[in-house]
Structure 1
Amino acid sequence: MEVTRHCCRYASVGDKGEILLGRNVVADAFYKRIIRVVTHAHHDHTRGLPSSVKWSIYIVATPVTFEFLKLLGYRIPEEKKLPLGYRAPVTIENETITLFPARHIAGSAQVVVESPSYRVGYTGDFKLPGTPPLEDLDILVIDATYGSPKYQRRWSDWEALSALISLIDEKIQQGPVWIYAFNGKIQEIMIELRKRGVDYPFLAEPIAIEMAKISSREYRVELGDIRPYLGGEVDESAVVFIHTSKSNGKMRMRGTHVKLTGWETRSIVRMVGDNVFRVSFSDHATFREIIEYVREAMPRQVIVDGYRGRDAWFTAKYIEKMLGIPAVYMPVKRK
């Protein structure tokens, strides 16, 4: 698929996941530009941040994302931090940078970079509803984690959440329910469970609790009974939140084990082992939501992020054929 010169000049996705916007801005990976934007605090969007701290003049993020980054161990000098609220533009070197809300994790942002010559934007990770489309763009760079219909879930997030609550209510009478997810999703699920009246004790690792406190303040939801999990067996009926990377060491613990993943497309809840379940829940847009976003935004050109997504080539082709908008995927990888 041919990439136009205009596309490469004002926006592109590099081989290491760097999102280049305008002349001075790079988002979500390291590149030698004076402004580094961090759209949110997930590891695949903070790549090379220490190098950016050394090279760039400013690190731009929402205040909540800066709080998360500090908890995660990133050291950013105060003089390099440029915290931006949503829809609060700042102009640097004849380019105006504006962050817009994105429904993903607390503090997530979309970014628009504009000058008298161009207006380009990047969604970062998002899902619908809750993410306002970026409008009047010359070029839109869009996330496509689930880049084709074969990854499409046949149920809504709300149905998945209801199924998770039912599973917790059923199994917690037999002991603890262990929930495995990435930071960000852990806090989102905590908030959603509390909003829906789930009042069982929550246990989590200290860093996850601190992130949950920030999220609860952002979403104005009380966390209730939440306590540190410091390891070992749990002898009470509680919901225990564990980072996905540590799941292998916990599966032998007494109780019910639940993995949250958007890659489960067979059913909302699927038993995959003795007291082990997969629940289909994601904080990324489905394929249909990606197309809906582009249809509402109607940019003049689209770049699909093929570094983080799957089947980005298909998303680009679909947008061209069905919406009539010139689209490419970058970086170009084998299908």
Structure 2
Amino acid sequence: MILEDFLYFDSNGLYCKYGNFYVDPVKPVQTAVISHAHADHAIPGNNEVYCTEATSLFMKQRYGKNAAKFFNLAGYGKPFMAGGVQITFIPAGHILGSAQILMEYEGVRYLYTGDYKLQADATCEPLEWVKTDVLITESTFANPAVLHPDPVEEIKKLNDVKINILLGAYGLGKSQRLINLITHYAPQKTIMIHHSIMPLNAVYQKMGIDIGKYQLYSRKLMKEQKEYVYIVPPFTFESYYRAVGVKRLFASGWKNLQVNQNDTLFISDHADWNDILQTVEKTEPKQVWTLHGDGNYLRKHFGNRIFVKILN
């Protein structure tokens, strides 16, 4: 029997009382199961953390000694117990080390996707499908109007830009994916990266991921016009709003983060509407629970066919 209170939000985040742990808590807790290392899912200060190895390395790099008191590392497909709940990490395809969290209790399977994507990405483990009774899906782009284009075709747009490019991107996951895509599909470009991204790239290297060709930013080189692409995190991108002699682009699935309608780079690391529908088809849930977005479109789409519960 599906337990309607198996997961619910309290002041610390998403709680599983049957295992006495939180999933991606928003405040430090005693026991946290972390899906991936982005800051809105992996905060510092938890006592005990269950996660993948890559997630632990990113957290340690970003938070130092405050990352967590204890890390319990689990490989993909290797079940472990947290309280009375059996947990298995399943690749989510979002960033390196990202995991869907399969929770099994009293014969019922609850699959928390975390952030996930179906698009190919050579810099992280590809998403894997598992059957579940309850699909707990992020709904960041759960809107029929949101359909993300082919990322390769988006990157190929850069071949038409003959001046230097200031490319805004999130430092973890998106930047490494962009380096890889540009290396392969706009090979004449020279990629330079902001110093804050270098330690994150080092984790990829430690985990055996070749993300592509890049070098540390040089102000002297950027003054030349040799089709450089300078990848910077959002705060730096915003500080260069008056930059001249460069094409400003921001790589994102969000329309409001595009610089203008003529210069767009729609590359998302989240599932779009069609991807979410495919995920429901592949996982075959009896119920769909949504969070991290608007679940109303999914509720309307499935009607009486599948029960949709909106957690947030």
Counting only pairs closer than 5 Å after superposition, residues 48-127 of structure 1 correspond to structure 2 as 49-50=44-45, 52-53=46-47, 58-76=48-66, 80-127=70-117
Amino acid in structure 2 at the alignment position of 1:6: L
Amino acid in structure 2 at the alignment position of 1:234: M
Stretches of structure 2 that go unaligned for 5 or more consecutive residues are 120-125
Structure 1 Cα separation of the partners of residues 52 and 105 of structure 2: 22
Structure 2 Cα separation of the partners of residues 328 and 96 of structure 1: 23
Counting only pairs closer than 5 Å after superposition, residues 153-172 of structure 1 correspond to structure 2 as 153=148, 155-160=149-154, 164-167=155-158, 169-171=159-161
**Aligned twin of 1:227:** 216
Structure with the higher fraction of residues in helix conformation: 1
Stretches of structure 1 that go unaligned for 5 or more consecutive residues are none
Q: Deviations over 1:60-86 (max 9, x none)?
A: 111111111122225357761011111
Maintained 8 Å contact 1:7/1:139: no
Structure 2 Cα separation of the partners of residues 29 and 279 of structure 1: 31
Out of 252, 255, 280, which is 1:261 matched to?
Answer: 252
**Aligned twin of 1:214:** 203
**Aligned twin of 2:138:** 143
Q: Deviations over 1:117-155 (max 9, x none)?
A: 4321200011115422231x23221111112112233x3
Out of 303, 307, 311, which is 1:326 matched to?
Answer: 307
Amino acid in structure 1 at the alignment position of 2:157: S
Aligned residues: 301
Maintained 8 Å contact 2:35/2:100: yes
Structure 2 Cα separation of the partners of residues 6 and 328 of structure 1: 12
Structure 2 Cα separation of the partners of residues 40 and 222 of structure 1: 19
Q: Shift in Å at residue 21 of structure 1?
A: 7.4
Identical positions, percent:
21
Q: Shift in Å at residue 11 of structure 1?
A: 2.3
**RMSD of the alignment, in Å?**
2.9
Closer, same or farther: CA 232–181 of 1 in aligned 2, 3 Å:
farther
Structure 1 Cα separation of the partners of residues 10 and 129 of structure 2: 23
Maintained 8 Å contact 1:100/1:110: yes
> Are 1:250 and 2:247 an aligned pair?
no
Structure 1 Cα separation of the partners of residues 28 and 191 of structure 2: 43
Q: Deviations over 1:289-318 (max 9, x none)?
A: 10110111012221111xx21x22222332
**Aligned twin of 1:302:** 288
Closer, same or farther: CA 46–225 of 1 in aligned 2, 3 Å:
closer
Q: Deviations over 1:85-112 (max 9, x none)?
A: 1111222333222111011111111111
**Aligned twin of 1:29:** 25
Secondary structure class of the residue paired with 1:43:
coil
For CA contacts below 8 A with separation 6 or more, give which structure has more relative contact order.
1
Structure 2 Cα separation of the partners of residues 293 and 12 of structure 1: 22
Closer, same or farther: CA 260–222 of 1 in aligned 2, 3 Å:
closer
> Are 1:272 and 2:268 an aligned pair?
no
Structure 1 Cα separation of the partners of residues 10 and 299 of structure 2: 17
Structure 2 Cα separation of the partners of residues 33 and 5 of structure 1: 26
**Aligned twin of 1:7:** 4
Maintained 8 Å contact 1:36/1:59: yes
> Are 1:314 and 2:302 an aligned pair?
no
Amino acid in structure 2 at the alignment position of 1:259: F
Secondary structure class of the residue paired with 2:239:
coil
Secondary structure class of the residue paired with 1:166:
helix
Structure 2 Cα separation of the partners of residues 215 and 330 of structure 1: 34
When normalised by structure 1's length, the TM-score is: 0.79
